[in-house]
């Protein structure tokens, strides 16, 4: 199914019910239905960031209106609730944790935390520089905040504390924990990744990229990490105690004429999915090396990409407001 939203697609995600949802630059959140889509007017301005609500019902979005909003479908109706508001600030990062029920968002130099189980709960963690990326660890207890000079690790519910800072020179724009919680990876403005083994703080450079890495995702039960930022999808091995330390990355689907700008992966399978700056989308099976085109039509650069939990559906969106849901039944058997 294809949709034309006429607005930049900030995020494409699946909720717990397997429903595709799109957060858009016109401030709306659109939920796909068999008849088309239903719309939530979430923000007075653009949606800048989105994540699935900790309950799995709908999306939490941040906007340039300083609001954090929970949008969802309830029966035959749509609903929107204000989670938080920081007037005069853009909410450029949002992270959520199903494990702990926490919601985090950035507002300038602060990272904020809310608890879905306690409406009165609020934490704000101050940083010296703008918070450019947020991520919860697998248990939802620690929050990573990326910024200039490294990534700060906070205990998400503790009020008075000093963060553990994983230092590395440069501007860090995104952060992601490995599914087993052993590693932390950041994307940098300088077109490289940096990683840390959390047990001892040992760090690792993960470079060689020709462009900024706007998207990264773990898949294959956390054994592999796929990233954008190159002419093909770059895959790093994370199995074992040392993860990618001392190992080389593989680049798949290489093309001299295009860049991979968004990636996703099937959680339980060794299947990586890549969206290109020419609008095409393809999947690669890492065991066989085979590549299959999922969207052959050229168009604007892919701006959002997500796979449903069961691996049966792919949601995508592009910079011109085109979006869609592609059925990928039994993907693992097609390679």
78 domain-assigned: no
**Rounded distance between C-alpha atoms, residue 251 and residue 290, angstroms:** 13
Best CA proximity match to 192, nearest among 170, 177, 225 = 170
Domain assignment of residue 291, yes or no = yes
Is 304 a domain residue? yes
66-99: pLDDT as tens digits? 999 999 998 878 999 999 999 999 999 999 999 9
Spell out, as residue ranges, where the chain has pLDDT lower than 50: 329-335
322 falls within a domain: yes
- What is the b/e burial string over 218-241, where b = at least 16 CB atoms within 10 angstroms of the residue's CB? bbbebbbbbbbbbbbbbbbbbeee
pTM, full prediction: 0.95
CA 91 to CA 105: how far, in whole Å? 7
For residue 226, tell me if it sits in a domain. Answer: yes
User: Domain count of the chain?
Assistant: 1
Whether 289 is covered by a domain: the verdict is: yes
Which residue range forms the structural domain that includes residue 292?
212-335
Task: Return the pLDDT at 331.
Answer: 45
> Can you give the CATH number for the domain in which 224 is found?
2.130.10.10
pLDDT digits (tens, 9 = 90+) for 118-157: 999 999 999 999 999 999 999 999 999 999 999 999 999 9
Residue 333 lies in a domain: yes
17 lies in some domain:
no
Question: Can you give the pLDDT at residue 1?
Answer: 79
> For position 222, what pLDDT does the model report?
96
């Amino acid at each position: 199914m294809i949709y034309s939203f006429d607005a930049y697609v900030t995020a494409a995600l699946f909720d717990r019910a397997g429903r595709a949802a799109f957060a858009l630059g016109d401030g709306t959140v659109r939920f796909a239905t068999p008849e088309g889509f239903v719309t939530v007017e979430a923000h007075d301005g653009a949606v800048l960031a989105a994540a699935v609500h900790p309950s799995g019902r709908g999306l939490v979005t941040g906007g340039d209106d300083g609001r954090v909003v929970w949008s969802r479908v309830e029966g035959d109706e749509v609903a929107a609730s204000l989670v938080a508001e920081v007037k005069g600030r853009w909410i450029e990062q949002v992270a959520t944790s199903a494990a702990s029920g926490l919601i985090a968002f950035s507002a300038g130099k602060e990272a904020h935390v809310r608890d879905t189980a306690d409406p009165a709960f609020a934490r704000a963690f101050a940083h010296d520089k703008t918070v450019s990326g947020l991520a919860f660890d697998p248990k939802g207890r620690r929050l990573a905040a990326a910024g200039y000079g490294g990534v700060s690790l906070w205990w998400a519910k503790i009020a008075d504390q000093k963060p553990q800072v994983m230092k590395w020179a440069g501007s860090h724009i995104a952060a992601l924990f490995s599914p087993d919680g052993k590693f932390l990876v950041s994307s940098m403005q300088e077109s490289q990744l940096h990683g840390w083994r959390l047990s001892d703080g040992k760090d690792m450079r993960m470079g060689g990229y020709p462009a900024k890495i706007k998207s990264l995702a773990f898949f294959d039960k956390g054994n592999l990490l796929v990233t954008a930022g190159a002419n093909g999808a770059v895959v790093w091995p994370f199995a074992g105690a040392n993860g990618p330390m001392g190992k080389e990355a593989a680049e798949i689907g290489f093309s001299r004429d295009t860049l991979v700008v968004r990636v996703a992966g099937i959680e339980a399978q060794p299947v990586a999915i890549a969206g290109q700056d020419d609008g095409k989308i393809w999947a690669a099976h890492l065991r066989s090396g085979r590549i299959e085109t999922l969207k052959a039509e050229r168009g604007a650069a892919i701006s959002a990409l997500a796979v449903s939990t069961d691996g049966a559906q792919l949601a995508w969106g592009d910079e011109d407001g085109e979006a869609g849901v592609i059925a990928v039944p039994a993907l693992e058997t097609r390679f």
